Amino acid sequence: MIEAHELTRRYGPATAVDGLSFAVGEHEIVGILGPNGAGKTTTLRMITGFLPPNEGRVSVAGYDLFEEPRRARRQIGYLPENVALYSEMRVEEYLSYRARLEGLDRTAARRAIEESLERCLIADVRHQIIGTLSKGYRQRVGLAQAILHDPRVLVLDEPTVGLDPKQIIAIRALIRELGQERALLLSTHILPEVELICDRVLIIDRGRIVGEGTPEDLRTRLQGATVLRVELKGAPAGADDTLAGLDGVDGVRPHPTEPAKLLVECATGADPREAIFHTAVDQGWVLLGLEEERASLEDVFIRLTTHEAERAATPVSEGFDGEPAEEEALADDDPPEADGSDDTEQEVIQ
Amino acid sequence: MNGILATLQRELRAYFFSPLAYVVLCFLLVVNGIVFALILSFLNDPMSPAGRPLDLFFGGTFFFWLVVVFVAPVLTMRLLAEERRSGSIEVLMTAPVTEGQVVAGKYLAALLFYAFLWLPTLAYAGIVAYNSKIDWGVVGAGYLGILLVGALFLSVGTFTSAMTSNQIIAAVMAFAILLGLFAFSLVQYLATASAFKDALAYLSIPQHMEEFAKGVVDTRRLVFYVTSTLFFLFLTSRALEARKWR
């Protein structure tokens, strides 16, 4: 449905997207994952025809975006990152304006409006002025606008950004549903989201694809070994060597910031916590703390992309969205949503 | 065509729903009312030269130009600058419409609203017709002049609105260009070479308006206004396309 071939886009001297090629098949939900400034939005803008690439080609539903731009765009529904709607219009008015813009005739427009109002669960606010709607509702109006003309391709740029957890759950469920019937390309920098929604993931950094695969592939590739944080009173000498000798322990290193603590790397699948406790008792150490330092997917992801960035060592380092650095932006991701509510979300969606 | 009509309808709605439109309408009514009253009292003075009130009303006074030069940028400043500021241009330009259609729709909405602003002045013509004889052909020519001058001025405003995402900057740029166009016509009084003088006279907007107010509809003037309006609209659509390459 979507074929992008060697897309390159430069903003002045900075290369935002650098020779990106990928394809999205019918009924497939593909997520573009990357830190802020990785070129996600630029890529999506090129797919939707808002920005032309400096090099490369895009075809959507079989139409080349440059040779038959209007045919191709008719097949695309697009929800930009900051859903900008005309705030003085009422929801229904706005949708009927969009329907006309898409070239639907009167009866088709009326049917399409009813259907998308219903699907996006905004029928109750149809007469409300858009400016008075909450962010979640506005996002849904944006989605309604995107699916109005029943496009074969849906492009969503960070569809859950700025929503509260409940709204995120609802939007994700809706996205999954919409993806059953069409090709869907979405961008995000939230890893759990990718796992919940997408069939396939492209990880991009500095405008290049640095990883591709199903979310399961991704998880196994990204997830490192479990690390335990061990705090011993008085930091007894030789403790690190002793612990390193235990079964199921791959290595021991001092905690980078807290000298009283040791980081114990576990072998895959092993849980040496009990052994550590008994060792401490045998040695007469006072065990003050023993906890799993869970490398969250986010942490691993940061490591991956930062690492890639350093290896690339290009002078182009600033984010072009106005974001100063990737690390910072990623750190902003809502941890409660990433940890606590994951299970409930999974339930709701299934 | 769908693209033009959908945009036109939306923009017209936006005009009539915004308070700015009513402020402009009031401003225009107050200024025009005062000007018309002044003209009538001036002509009623037995010492003053003979004249027809509407000739003087259409472009005969400084106020007319003040109004048109001010109102055009205010009407157009929002058109494209606001789309760019809010980001709604992204949804707009990914719909199956061309830049030209968007510009045409928005411009026509501005032009229609501008025409609407002048509608109440028909009452002045009515007043004159009620109290004395009136030549409707001359009045028609006057309104044609207002429409043509407005069409050009609004196209300039639409153009500057496409250049920036700041409405104020768009309005000020349009205002500057319009003042420039206007001041240009005054240079003819300084020119000595007759060919140069004639060329400037051809471009003199106040002079054109004076002719229209007298009922003279010169084809050259029509060509001048239509082509220069289309020229600015063409520039607008190019400016909108240029966004892609920045």
Paired tokens of A312: 């690339």
Q: How many CA atoms lie within 13 A of A149 on its CB side?
A: 25
Cα–Cα distance between A70 and A288 in angstroms, integer? Answer: 67
Q: Inform me whether the pLDDT recorded for A111 exceeds 90.
A: yes
3-state secondary structure of A209: strand
Fold adopted by A225-293: Alpha-Beta Plaits (3.30.70)
Cβ of B97 within 8 Å of Cβ of A98? The answer is: no
Q: Residues B137-176: pLDDT tens digits?
A: 888 888 999 999 999 999 999 999 999 999 999 999 999 9
**Could you tell me the sign of the dihedral formed by the alpha carbons of B187, B192, B193, B195, in that order?**
positive
Which residues in chain B have Cβ-Cβ distances shorter than 8 Å to A89?
Answer: 10, 13
pLDDT band with cut points at 50, 70 and 90 for residue A315: very low
Q: How many domains does chain B have?
A: 1
Q: Residues A165-177: pLDDT tens digits?
A: 888 888 888 888 8
Q: Residues A171-222: pLDDT tens digits?
A: 888 888 888 889 999 998 777 788 788 889 888 888 888 878 887 776 666 6
Indicate yes or no: pTM above 0.80.
no
Q: List chain A domain ranges.
A: 2-75+151-221, 225-293
Using only the alpha carbons of chain A, give its radius of gyration. 24
Which residues in chain A have Cβ-Cβ distances shorter than 8 Å to B87?
Answer: 80, 82, 84
- What is the percent of chain A where pLDDT is above 70? 81
Range 54-93 of B in CB contact (< 8 A) with A: 86-93
Kindly list the distances between the CA atom of residue A337 and the CA atoms of A118, A333, A334, B42, in Å, as whole numbers in the listed order: 27, 9, 6, 76
Nearest CB to A101 within list B6, B18, B246: B6
How far is CA B49 from its chain centroid? 30
**How many contacts does A have with B, using Cβ atoms within 8 A?**
70
Q: Residues A270-310: pLDDT tens digits?
A: 788 888 888 888 888 888 888 876 555 555 566 666 654 45
Picking from A262, A179, A190, A203, the residue whose alpha carbon sits closest to that of residue A32 is: A203
Which ipTM score applies to this complex? 0.84
Residue ranges making up the domain that contains B215 = 2-245
Range 96-115 of B in CB contact (< 8 A) with A: 96-98
Fold adopted by A2-75+151-221: Rossmann fold (3.40.50)
Cα–Cα distance between A153 and A156 in angstroms, integer? Answer: 10
Cα–Cα distance between A170 and A166 in angstroms, integer? Answer: 6
Question: Hunting for tokens 């052909």 — which residue is that?
Answer: B137
Cα–Cα distance between B7 and B196 in angstroms, integer? Answer: 42
Nearest CB to B10 within list A76, A97, A142: A97
Residue B17 contacts A where some CB pair is shorter than 8 Å: yes
